């Protein structure tokens, strides 16, 4: 049975695939849409959480109005629950980025921490250091390493600058000199920080337009080294397991935040003490410095005084000296005159003596001339030199003769010597020869002795006296030896006795000859000695002549000498005279000099006196000045001391992520998605129920006979119903699974992609996680609705008894409809129209299904287009109809009237700008006495209430009436009015705000006089008189509104010129603002597309199903028509006309439904800062209407073949 | 040439591998103004003959002509026009449009053809003028069938085709309907073809075509047809 039952179901599905698919489709759409939209919020939150955890984003942020120190850091990290702490220096400043001047947030980043971190994917930045919080991800370039380098946001909606550009920090909300050490920063890279997930506004500030346009990170080197930390970021134990900003997360964070808040008082006292101590130390140093300076100055003044006194003494001395000098000079002059007279007299005496001596010398000279004449004549010479020559010549002759004689005497002497030598030689020869002759004689004697001896010996021997004989023999031997010796001598002479005797005689003759020669020579020598004596006589005579000449010459020398002495004396005198004259001149000059010097001294003295007077005056000034300066310094020091004493305990705030604009905005948007998800899918579920109901009803009716048969066979009601429930269940489960699987990916992806235009949170990669609870509830709801509808369809038929079921069901009775009773209309309708009209109201379920389905489709379209209108209206209605100015020039807080006027004058002077209006613009907070929430508002106080209408039109949107604006007016913008429920006559409170954007103080109440239409921002327009009750000081009206038609180039040049003017801080052309909004709001275009697509899907499923049922149910009717000869076109018209009519009715209903739905979506999707347009444009109604009809037409076109396929023969053959 | 000619007409259906020869070489003629009864057992192919003659189905081969027009060569569009202007159909189950009153059902037909007869008159003719504003569900079966006949006649067709017109009716009512058809033929000169398995009807026919296994097994002409009211079955 089970298998037969199963087969039956399988065949049913196969046999009616269209029906099955229709249920599946609508369930898929309903469940998918529900689950998909429901997942958007959780997915967005999960993605944010993933990013926050991945980048170690802070959980709590501490801000102090007086900063933090390292000690504070330690104190905070000791608080229970605090996991990691990281200090930061952050401040807001206006900066030049590219050609723009925008508000930026500058924070410090530790280069080492940044360098060692690595980006993994687009949502994780890992770092070995756990204490590295809020890790930015480097998108391009590199980290800042040195002073003057920075990285900027890669996420800024307007790319103000790029790597390599230079950013100039202009001024901050407070004095940034104490914080930052450099003003020009070079961009070295681009980063994305999870701390700034919302690109529409990186935060609020009191600067510029009130919105942070860009953020930078700089290395700590760029900060002033004494700059305190401005905030402490910290993470809390146990938060990484919890979804950011979920209740569990808030609970964990809240506990630690609470402890921190409890610790605030202690922290703030400690900070106060630290600051006081540090300041006191500095001040004490200043005190010491003051004392030093004072002492030094006193010393200097004393020195100056001493110098002056000294100068006075010197002047007195100088005067005395001058008097002395004058006396000395007079003396000098007298002495000089006396000296001159004496010198001249002495010179004259010397001249006289010289003249006397000259005369004596002249007498001696004439005496000498006489002596000379006498001698010359004696010598027969013409002159003394001639006489000398003559005497010399005689002398020479004598000398020559004497020489000759001496030579001759010497020759003779030499001859004599030679002869004497020869003589000596010969006499020696004679001696030798005598000796030889002696030898001859001796030998002969010896030979005689020898013979004698021989004979004796022979005798003795013969005698036998041997002894005697021997003795004699010995004697004989001696004699013999003598003979031999003599023989030797003789042999040596070579001569014999005769020769030797001859030679003796010859030698004796030679001796005689030689002795004769010697006597001759001695005679010659005597002659010569006589000649020599004569010569000596001549010489004596010559000596006499010479002596005479000598005497003459001596005399001459004496006279010349005398003359020379005289000349010398004379020249000496001349020298003396010259010297004397020179000396006298010198003397005179010295005197003149002295006189000049005296004059100089007199002048000098006068100068000195003047200088002294001057010095004295200066000194007196100096004393006065010093007194004043030190007086001031003392006052300043005292002030500083008072300031230190007055240092208050800083305000310390502990903020969590809900108080961080970016994270909070994102979280709120995720929440908005939750809200939208609650309403939209209801349409789909409703339609799903209707589709299932009609479809299943049709199915049950088709199966009437079969049901009857089953019943007749004995199947129970439950078993039979089970078939249809299982059928619908399968369709529902398959559809739900498919729809949920697809749309939980597609819808969150589309929504998050759209949001990625304004948020930097990276989208989860496919598959996007699906929450089982949401998926199951969506599926359960979808399947449940289908089953319920099916049960509803089945239960009716099952109540009938089998017998009735076996019979063909009586066709639904034709009925008259209400319209027929209106005869004038009814009678005019062609009968085909009548049929159509009747058919429409014949089947109530189909009617409802179609009308609601189509209405849903139209409503979705209308929401889409309406949302688009509302959003573009923000811009279109805000800029033009309300805001007439397109140029806003803001001057900084301390600008003065002159600055503003200069800017106004410049604008007027350009000729490009008109309608200049001056207002005071304050960034404040607004709230009410009953609400504990406040909203950031711009309070605008115009200088002239009358002028305001040229800049802004104040109009109440609902009543359409223009609002009067005068000096007592207080107009609030519509959004603000709605948020706090404040209307005309109610009071609104205006609060000052602190650095963090929290309201402070009790607020100032203003009575609202009107609610003005406004779309962008929350504003309070306050008249001057009314404002005076809030702030009694007269504002500068430092914001200028103006209009211009100039093109971009001129605007840029105007902006440039304005920035050059003193005090001008912002120049905003609304075009730029509009572009920013366009960017932000293009999110909606995506949603519009999603809505159109889902509307089309809805329309298709509903119409397809309706047509399918229609055709199936009326197949005999269609066949009949065909048999009657209706053409295809006529058949289409006959069947489709009523579907089209239903579509039109649904379309009309959808318009109404859409208006409400759009209103809901708009108010849900709206952010605090803007009010969406509240009206849907007529064109959007037309679009929605026509598009629905277009979808209908398309479905019908695609259904034509179904009609074509209706077979007349088959359809009419039998009863079904 | 006869008013209606069937020449060697075949209609072959393919049901999977099985070839069903519903009509297999059918030949017969019908003259104008005749009341023809096509009779035969179930499955003999008589309804197929009627469908082809009414332009609801086309033969596989052979020629069918009506008043000189070769229907068998018509395309779909021509067939529609043919049904519209030349044919009136009456079915066993009336096939009235439930959401239209009796009059409107007749008008449904008369509004689309070239030369219609007035709807009211047609209703009057079938004796239902007084019920003209009733919906089909408010009429008895015989009344509904009479409305169906009125609807078929309102088109002023050349040929009135009736497929078991009394099949769902009781004896008396069936007789009345049969009488109406016979009168229509006689008084209006319409050519009427009735398909039935009831051979009793042959008595009122001018011509009887007996169909067996897809062929016209016998074609008889009845020189003295009986009045419908006298026929007994």
**pLDDT, tens only, A806-844:** 665 555 566 667 777 777 777 777 777 777 777 777 777
Complex confidence, ipTM: 0.89
Sheet containing A60-68: which strands, arranged edge to edge?
A: A82-88, A229-236, A60-68, A652-656
B140 in reach of chain A (CB within 8 A): no
Sequence spans of domains, chain A = 843-883+1071-1216, 893-1062
Of all residues in chain A, the one with the smallest CA distance to B79 is: A1125
**CA nearest to A783, candidates A852, A860, A730, A857:** A730
Q: How many Å apart are CA A117 and CA A111, to the nearest integer? A: 10
A1126 in reach of chain B (CB within 8 A): yes
Q: Is A111 within 8 Å of A186 (Cβ atoms)?
A: no
Q: Give the H or E element holding residue A935.
A: strand A935-942
Contact at CB, A831 and B54, closer than 8 angstroms? no
The predicted pLDDT at position A1076 comes to 67
Measured between beta carbons, the chain A residues lying within 8 angstroms of B101 are 814
Contact at CB, B80 and A1125, closer than 8 angstroms? yes
Half-sphere exposure of A69 (CA within 13 A, CB side): 15
Instruction: State whether the Cα torsion A347-A352-A353-A355 is positive or negative.
Output: positive
Contact at CB, B84 and A1127, closer than 8 angstroms? yes
Does the pLDDT of residue A1021 top 90, yes or no?
Answer: yes
Q: Which of A835, A1120, A1209 sits opposite B57 (nearest CB)?
A: A1209
* Interface probe with B: pick from A811, A812, A814, A1130, most Cβ of B within 10 Å: A814
Of all residues in chain A, the one with the smallest CA distance to B104 is: A831
CB atoms within 10 A of CB A361: 16
Measured between beta carbons, the chain A residues lying within 8 angstroms of B56 are 1122-1123, 1208-1209
Q: Using the CB atoms, write b or e for A558-584: b if 16+ within 10 Å.
A: ebeebbeebeeebeebeeebeebeeeb
Average pLDDT over residues A270-279: 82
Check residues A396 and A1068 and name the one with the higher pLDDT.
A396
Contact at CB, A1125 and B137, closer than 8 angstroms? no
* Interface probe with A: pick from B86, B88, B99, most Cβ of A within 10 Å: B99
pLDDT in tens, A449-493: 888 888 888 888 877 778 888 888 888 888 888 888 888 888 887
Does the pLDDT of residue A1215 top 60, yes or no?
Answer: no
Of all residues in chain A, the one with the smallest CA distance to B52 is: A1209
A839 in reach of chain B (CB within 8 A): yes
Contact at CB, A1125 and B84, closer than 8 angstroms? yes
Q: Which of B95, B112, B138 sits opposite A1125 (nearest CB)?
A: B112
Residue whose pair of structure tokens reads 């007279």 in the numeric block:
A341
* Interface probe with B: pick from A1124, A1206, A1214, most Cβ of B within 10 Å: A1124
- Give the strand pairing for B18-30 and B35-39: unpaired
CB pairs under 8 A between A and B: 90
Q: How many Å apart are CA A901 and CA A1116, to the nearest integer? A: 88
What is chain A's mean pLDDT, rounded?
83
B100 in reach of chain A (CB within 8 A): yes
Straight-line distance from the first to the last Cα atom of chain A, in angstroms, rounded to the nearest whole number = 26
Q: Which of A838, A1120, A1124 sits opposite B112 (nearest CB)?
A: A1124
- Give the strand pairing for A935-942 and A913-927: antiparallel
3-class DSSP state of A236:
strand
Does the pLDDT of residue A1216 top 50, yes or no?
Answer: no
CB atoms within 10 A of CB B100: 24
In sequence order, what DSSP letters do the residues of A454-487 get, joined into one string? HHHHHHHHHTT-HHHHHHHHHHHHHHHHHHHHHH
Q: How many Å apart are CA A125 and CA A119, to the nearest integer? A: 4
Of all residues in chain A, the one with the smallest CA distance to B138 is: A813
Q: Tokens in use for A880?
A: 């033009």
Measured between beta carbons, the chain B residues lying within 8 angstroms of A834 are 100, 104
CATH number for position B95: 3.40.50.300
The predicted pLDDT at position A805 comes to 67
Of all residues in chain A, the one with the smallest CA distance to B86 is: A1125
The predicted pLDDT at position A1080 comes to 65
Which stretches does DSSP call E strand in A982-1027? Answer: 987-993, 999-1007, 1010-1012, 1019-1022
What lies within 8 Å, CB to CB, of A251 at 6+ separation is: none
The predicted pLDDT at position A1 comes to 45
Q: Which of A811, A830, A831 sits opposite B98 (nearest CB)?
A: A811
CB atoms within 10 A of CB A327: 9
B7 in reach of chain A (CB within 8 A): no
What is chain B's mean pLDDT, rounded?
85
Average pLDDT over residues A331-343: 83
Percent of chain A with pLDDT over 90: 3
Check residues A703 and A317 and name the one with the higher pLDDT.
A317
Q: Tokens in use for A766?
A: 């496919």
Measured between beta carbons, the chain A residues lying within 8 angstroms of B165 are none
B73 in reach of chain A (CB within 8 A): no
3-class DSSP state of A176:
helix
CB atoms within 10 A of CB A124: 17
- Give the strand pairing for B87-90 and B69-70: unpaired
Angle at the Cα of A989 from the Cα atoms of A983 and A993, rounded to 5 degrees = 140
The count of structural domains within chain B is 1
**CA nearest to A1104, candidates A695, A551, A773, A600:** A695
Q: Minimal Cα–Cα distance from B137 to chain A, Å?
A: 6
Q: Is A23 within 8 Å of A687 (Cβ atoms)?
A: no
Q: How many Å apart are CA A86 and CA A168, to the nearest integer? A: 27
A807 in reach of chain B (CB within 8 A): no
B139 in reach of chain A (CB within 8 A): no
Torsion-angle region of residue B16: left (phi > 0), alpha (psi -120 to 50) or beta? left
Q: Which of B82, B108, B137 sits opposite A811 (nearest CB)?
A: B137
Question: Helices A1070-1113 and A661-702 sit at what angle, rounded to 10 degrees?
Answer: 10
Average pLDDT over residues A1008-1031: 89
The predicted pLDDT at position A1213 comes to 64
Q: How many Å apart are CA A782 and CA A34, to the nearest integer? A: 9
Measured between beta carbons, the chain A residues lying within 8 angstroms of B52 are none
Average pLDDT over residues B79-95: 85
A392 in reach of chain B (CB within 8 A): no
**CA nearest to A220, candidates A194, A182, A188, A189:** A182
pLDDT in tens, B23-41: 888 888 888 888 899 988 8
The predicted pLDDT at position A188 comes to 92
**CA nearest to B96, candidates A1137, A817, A1120:** A1120
Contact at CB, A812 and B98, closer than 8 angstroms? yes
Q: Tokens in use for A570?
A: 């004379």
Name the residue range of residue B189's domain.
4-230
Of all residues in chain A, the one with the smallest CA distance to B135 is: A814
Instruction: State whether the Cα torsion A472-A478-A480-A483 is positive or negative.
Output: negative
Q: Which of A811, A815, A1208 sits opposite B56 (nearest CB)?
A: A1208
Contact at CB, B104 and A1119, closer than 8 angstroms? no
Residue whose pair of structure tokens reads 């907070």 in the numeric block:
A925
pLDDT in tens, A941-972: 998 888 888 889 999 988 888 888 888 889 99
Q: Which of B57, B80, B135 sits opposite A814 (nearest CB)?
A: B135
Contact at CB, A813 and B84, closer than 8 angstroms? no
Distance of alpha carbon A1216 from its chain centroid, rounded? 88
Whole-model pTM: value is 0.63
Q: Is A349 within 8 Å of A341 (Cβ atoms)?
A: no
Q: Residue B42, exposed/middle/buried by CB under 10 A (0-12, 13-18, 19+)?
A: exposed
A1205 in reach of chain B (CB within 8 A): no
Q: Minimal Cα–Cα distance from A1111 to chain B, Å?
A: 14
pLDDT band at A217 (very low <50, low <70, confident <90, very high): very high
Q: Minimal Cα–Cα distance from A811 to chain B, Å?
A: 7
pLDDT in tens, A142-189: 999 888 899 998 888 777 788 888 888 888 767 777 788 888 889 999
């Amino acid at each position: 049975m089970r298998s037969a039952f199963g087969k039956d179901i399988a065949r049913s599905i196969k046999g009616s695939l269209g029906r099955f698919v229709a249920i599946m489709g609508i369930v898929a759409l309903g469940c998918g849409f529900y689950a998909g939209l429901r997942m958007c919020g959780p997915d967005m939150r999960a993605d944010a959480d993933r990013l926050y955890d991945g980048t170690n984003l802070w959980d709590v942020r501490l801000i102090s109005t007086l900063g933090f120190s390292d000690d504070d850091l330690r104190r905070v990290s000791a608080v229970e629950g605090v996991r990691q702490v990281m200090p930061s220096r952050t401040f807001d400043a206006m900066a030049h980025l590219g050609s723009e001047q925008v508000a930026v947030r500058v924070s410090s980043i530790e280069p080492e921490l940044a360098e060692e971190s690595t980006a993994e994917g687009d949502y994780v930045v890992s770092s070995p250091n756990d204490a590295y919080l809020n890790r930015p991800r480097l998108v391009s370039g590199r980290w800042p390493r040195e002073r003057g380098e920075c990285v900027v946001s890669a996420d800024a909606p307007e790319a103000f600058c790029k790597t390599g550009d230079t950013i100039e920090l202009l001024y901050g909300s407070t004095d940034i000199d104490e914080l930052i050490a450099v003003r020009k920063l070079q961009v070295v890279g681009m980063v994305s920080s999870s701390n700034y997930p919302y690109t529409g506004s990186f935060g609020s500030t009191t600067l510029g337009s009130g919105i942070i346009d860009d953020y930078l990170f700089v290395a700590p080197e760029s900060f002033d080294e004494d700059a305190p930390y401005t905030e402490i970021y910290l993470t809390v134990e146990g938060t990484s397991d919890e979804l950011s900003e979920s209740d569990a997360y808030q609970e964990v964070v809240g506990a630690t935040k609470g402890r921190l808040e409890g610790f605030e008082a202690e922290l703030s006292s400690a900070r106060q003490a630290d600051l006081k101590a540090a300041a006191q130390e500095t001040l004490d140093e200043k005190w010491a410095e003051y004392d030093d300076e004072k002492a030094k100055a006193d010393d200097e003044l004393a020195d100056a005084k001493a110098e002056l006194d000294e100068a006075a003494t010197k002047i007195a001395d100088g005067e005395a000296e001058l008097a002395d000098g004058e006396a000395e000079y007079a003396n000098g002059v007298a002495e000089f005159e006396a000296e001159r007279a004496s010198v001249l007299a002495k010179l004259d005496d010397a001249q006289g003596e010289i003249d006397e001596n000259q005369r004596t010398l002249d007498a001696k000279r004439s005496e000498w001339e006489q002596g000379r004449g006498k001698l010359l004549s004696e010598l027969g010479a013409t002159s003394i030199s001639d006489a000398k020559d003559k005497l010399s010549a005689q002398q020479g002759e004598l000398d020559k003769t004497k020489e000759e004689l001496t030579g001759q005497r010497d020759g003779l002497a030499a001859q004599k010597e030679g002869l004497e030598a020869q003589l000596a030689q010969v006499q020696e020869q004679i001696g030798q020869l005598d000796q030889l002759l002696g030898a001859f004689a001796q030998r002969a004697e010896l030979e005689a002795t020898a013979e004698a001896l021989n004979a004796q010996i022979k005798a003795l021997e013969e005698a036998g006296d041997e002894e005697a004989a021997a003795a004699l023999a010995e004697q004989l031997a001696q004699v013999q030896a003598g003979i031999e010796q003599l023989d030797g001598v003789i042999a040596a002479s070579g001569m014999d006795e005769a020769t030797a005797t001859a030679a003796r005689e010859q030698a004796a003759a030679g001796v005689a000859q030689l002795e004769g020669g010697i006597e001759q020579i001695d005679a010659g020598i005597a002659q010569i000695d006589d000649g020599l004596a004569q010569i000596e006589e001549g010489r004596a005579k010559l000596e006499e002549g010479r002596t005479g000449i000598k005497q003459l010459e001596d005399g001459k020398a004496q006279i010349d000498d005398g003359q020379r002495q005289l000349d010398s004396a004379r020249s000496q005198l001349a020298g003396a005279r010259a010297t004397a004259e020179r000396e006298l001149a010198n003397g005179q000059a010295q005197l003149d000099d002295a006189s000049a010097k005296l004059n100089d001294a007199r002048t000098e003295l006068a100068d000195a006196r003047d200088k002294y007077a001057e010095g004295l005056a200066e000194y007196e000034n100096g004393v006065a000045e010093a007194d004043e300066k030190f007086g001031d310094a003392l006052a300043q020091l005292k002030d500083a001391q008072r300031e230190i004493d007055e240092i208050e305990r800083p305000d310390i705030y502990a903020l969590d992520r809900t108080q961080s604009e970016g994270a909070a905005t994102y979280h709120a948007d995720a929440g908005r998605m939750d809200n939208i998800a609650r309403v939209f899918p209801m349409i789909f579920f409703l339609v799903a129920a209707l589709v299932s109901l009609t479809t299943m009803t049709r199915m049950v009716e088709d199966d009437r006979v079969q049901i009857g048969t089953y019943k007749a066979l004995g199947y129970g009601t439950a078993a039979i119903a089970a078939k249809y429930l299982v059928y619908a269940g399968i369709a529902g489960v398959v559809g739900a699974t498919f729809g949920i699987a697809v749309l939980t990916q597609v819808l969150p992806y589309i929504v998050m992609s759209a949001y990625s235009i304004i948020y930097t949170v990276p989208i989860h990669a496919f598959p996007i996680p699906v929450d089982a609870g949401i998926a199951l509830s969506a599926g359960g709801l979808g399947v449940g609705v289908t089953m319920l509808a099916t049960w509803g369809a089945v239960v009716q038929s099952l109540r009938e008894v089998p017998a009735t079921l076996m019979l063909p069901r009586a066709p639904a009775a034709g009925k008259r409809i209400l319209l027929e009773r209106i005869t004038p209309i009814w009678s005019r309708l062609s009968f085909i129209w009548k049929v159509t009209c009747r058919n429409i109201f014949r089947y109530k379920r189909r009617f409802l299904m179609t009308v609601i389905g189509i209405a849903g489709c139209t409503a979705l379209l209308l929401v889409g287009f309406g949302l688009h209108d509302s959003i573009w209206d923000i811009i279109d209605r805000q800029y033009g109809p309300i805001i007439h100015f397109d140029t806003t020039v803001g001057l900084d807080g301390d600008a003065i009237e002159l600055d503003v006027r200069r800017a106004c004058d410049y604008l007027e002077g350009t000729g490009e700008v008109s309608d200049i209006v001056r207002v005071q613009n304050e960034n404040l907070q607004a709230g009410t006495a009953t609400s504990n929430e406040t909203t950031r508002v711009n309070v605008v106080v115009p200088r002239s209430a009358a002028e305001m209408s040229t800049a802004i039109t104040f109009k109440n949107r609902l009543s359409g009436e223009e609002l009067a604006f005068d000096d007592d007016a207080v107009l609030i913008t519509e959004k603000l009015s709605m948020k706090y429920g404040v209307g005309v006559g109610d009071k609104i409170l205006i609060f000052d705000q602190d650095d963090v954007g929290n309201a402070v103080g009790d607020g100032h109440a203003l009575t609202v006089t009107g609610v003005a239409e406004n779309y962008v921002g929350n504003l309070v327009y306050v008249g001057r008189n009314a404002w005076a009750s809030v702030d009694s000081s007269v504002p500068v009206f430092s914001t200028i509104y103006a209009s211009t038609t100039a093109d971009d180039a001129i605007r840029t040049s105007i902006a440039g010129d304005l920035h050059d003017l003193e005090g001008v801080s912002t120049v905003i052309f609304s075009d730029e603002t509009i572009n920013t909004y366009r960017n932000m709001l293009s999110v909606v275009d995506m949603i519009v597309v999603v809505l159109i697509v889902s509307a089309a899907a809805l329309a298709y499923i509903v119409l397809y199903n309706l047509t399918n049922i229609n055709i199936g149910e009326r197949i005999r009717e269609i066949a009949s028509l065909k048999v009657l000869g209706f053409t295809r076109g006529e058949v289409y018209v006959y069947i489709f006309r009523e579907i089209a009519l239903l579509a039109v009715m649904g379309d009309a209903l959808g318009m109404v439904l859409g208006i409400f739905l759009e209103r809901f979506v708009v108010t849900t999707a709206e952010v605090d800062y803007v009010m969406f347009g509240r009206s849907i444009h007529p064109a959007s109604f037309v679009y929605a209407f026509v598009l629905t009809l277009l979808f209908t037409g398309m479905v019908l076109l695609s259904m034509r073949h179904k009609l074509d396929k209706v077979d007349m023969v088959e359809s009419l053959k039998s009863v079904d | 040439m006869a008013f209606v000619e069937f020449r060697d007409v075949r209609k072959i259906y393919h049901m999977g591998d099985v070839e069903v020869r519903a009509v297999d070489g059918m030949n017969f003629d019908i003259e104008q103004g005749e009341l023809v009864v096509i009779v035969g057992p179930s499955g003999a192919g008589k309804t197929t003959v009627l469908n082809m003659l009414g332009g609801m189905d086309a033969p596989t081969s052979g020629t069918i002509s009506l008043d000189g027009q070769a229907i068998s060569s018509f395309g779909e569009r021509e067939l529609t026009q043919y049904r519209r202007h030349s044919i009136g159909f009456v079915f066993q189950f009336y096939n009235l449009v439930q959401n239209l009153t009796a009059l409107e059902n007749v008008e449904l037909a008369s509004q689309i053809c070239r030369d219609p007869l007035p709807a009211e008159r047609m209703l009057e003719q079938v004796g239902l003028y007084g019920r003209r504003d009733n919906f089909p569900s408010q009429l008895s079966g015989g009344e509904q069938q009479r409305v169906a006949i009125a609807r078929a006649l309102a088109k002023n067709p050349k040929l009135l085709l009736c497929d078991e017109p009394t099949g769902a009716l009781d004896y008396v009512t069936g007789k009345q309907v049969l009488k109406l058809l016979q009168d229509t033929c006689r008084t209006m000169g319409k050519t009427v073809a009735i398909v039935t398995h009831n051979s009793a009807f042959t008595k009122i026919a001018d011509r009887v075509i007996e169909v067996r296994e897809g062929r016209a097994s016998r074609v008889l002409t009845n020189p003295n047809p009986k009045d419908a009211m006298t026929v007994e079955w």
